Amino acid sequence: MRKRKTALAAAIAGLCLFAAGCQNQTKPAAVQSSEAESGSESTVPAEEESTDGSEETLESQTDQEESRDETEEAETENGEEGEREDEPLHEIVVATDMHYLAEELAGKRCQSFVQMTYGSDGRVLLYGWEVMDAFVEDMKEKRPDLVVLSGDLTLNGERASHEELASILRELDEEDIPVLVVPGNHDINNPNARRFSGTQSYLIESVSPEEFADIYADFGYVAADSRDPSSLSYLYKVDDSLWLLMLDSCQYDPANLTGGMIQSGTYRWMEPILYEAWENDTEVITVTHHNLLEQSGVSDAFYDDCTIEHNEELLQMLSDNEVRLHLSGHLHLQHYMEEDGVTEVVTGSLVMAPCGYGVVELYEDGSITYHTQPVNVEKWARENSYKNRDLADFFDYSEDFLREISYSHAVRDLEKQNRQGVLNLSEDEIQEMARFYAKLCVYYYGGRLYEIQDEVEHDPARELWDRYQYASDLSDFLQRILEDDAKDFGRLYLEE
């Protein structure tokens, strides 16, 4: 296990990073620590807080963890699948969109890196290394039959990031926990690969498809039972009853594109595999980075190029061969939907609140269950003697960070409408509408909007959004959230 000093690693003095509407955000402890060292604030650095106070925080967090565990157990007992006493035949963990950046490339959390983080979509990239370490420890304790990483393994395809991530994954390989990977649109031939230093960032080397397969040779490509000559897709046979078809949905030759597609040669390679599985009554789970289905309309409202091009062809092939479950990522939110007998589960980003992964369990009666589990960063921090405030209560920190970033996005969008004469909102109205939008984002990205459904219906801010309807990506995204089904997207049960 790598050891690092989270708070003292930051060397960010006198940052002016917060755009309009973001000035009141609670800064991460690492940033606060740096500012305290530079004299700009009197905040005690997180690594130097009193031991007593930290122990109280960690004890409180332990209580919160136990409470969450009890809630999850109750949900399982009362869930659609009911309480199960039988053990699953197979347990697979799926994680996605960790956007890992090699530590050396972050410039000790320098100003340009932190500025990039605050200008992003709410991913907790300031603590991406700690999340990844905690995830690995979770897997060592859980010991699933298989860990699947469905793309966007790196921030922007940096060679050093791929190599460092592969070295971390070897910890699981050494514990006899197999790991399978496929690339995401950020991972190969990415022209935005860069390192951060001081107030600047500099372009650096990405990787080619061949280099990707070489770096992750031990994570699917060597053990593959069949490899597609047209792409980085491959077949992995867990046993005679379960196969995983790891499909490369990315476009990176000759240039990197955001959108996804399946190569025509890949379809030809897939066809006999799926037919053989169908003939032998073998369960096949397919995995891509990009989405198979138009998930709740969000993909065409707020994100570009999320659904695989000509997805109807892939859907038809999977449906014809009775594939029941497809796993993907890319959207950074937790969601699922079903079409033509194929259920697609989109797992949320590992570094976006609530920073979780999915657990797929297959049972002897043919049923399949899926549920989400947050990475236990709090436990990892406690066991590694970290006294950082953010890590000690990471679940809440990650949600607060997403809420604050979403709030600032809404404020900027609403103020823009005022400047352009589209709206004439008061400051109070802007703040109320922005808070409402931020709250929706936290619950929606986590797949838990059903928890506040009644509250949302009667919130005065919703009336403001309904009254001042205007055209923008953000406003459209909010409306699509409100139109989506209010159900638990972090739990699924498929019958035989």
- Yes or no: say if 313 and 267 are a contact pair by the CB < 8 Å rule: yes
Model confidence pLDDT, tens digit, residues 56-101: 444 555 555 555 554 444 444 334 445 688 999 999 999 999 999 9
**Which residue ranges in the chain fall short of pLDDT 50?**
2-3, 5-26, 31-58, 70-81
Phi, psi of 226 (to 5 degrees): -160, 140
Query: pTM of this prediction?
Result: 0.88
pLDDT, residue 31, reads 47
The residue whose two tokens read 């399978």 is: 180
Give the whole-angstrom CA distance, residue 149 versus residue 292.
17
Query: CA 316, CA 232: separation in Å to the nearest integer?
Result: 22
CB atoms under 10 Å from CB of 1, counted, come to: 11
- In this structure, the number of other CB atoms found within 10 A of the CB of residue 215 comes to 19
Contact 359, 93 (CB under 8 A): yes
Q: Which two tokens stand for residue 268?
A: 């030809």
Whole-angstrom distance, CA of residue 278 vs CA of residue 245: 13
**pLDDT tens, 34-63?**
333 333 332 222 333 333 344 444 455 555
CA pair distance 174, 178, nearest whole angstrom: 9
Please give the C-alpha separations between residue 293 and each of 48, 235, 249, 341, 473, in angstroms, as whole numbers.
49, 22, 13, 12, 20
In this prediction, residue 471 carries a pLDDT of 93
- State the DSSP code for 44: P
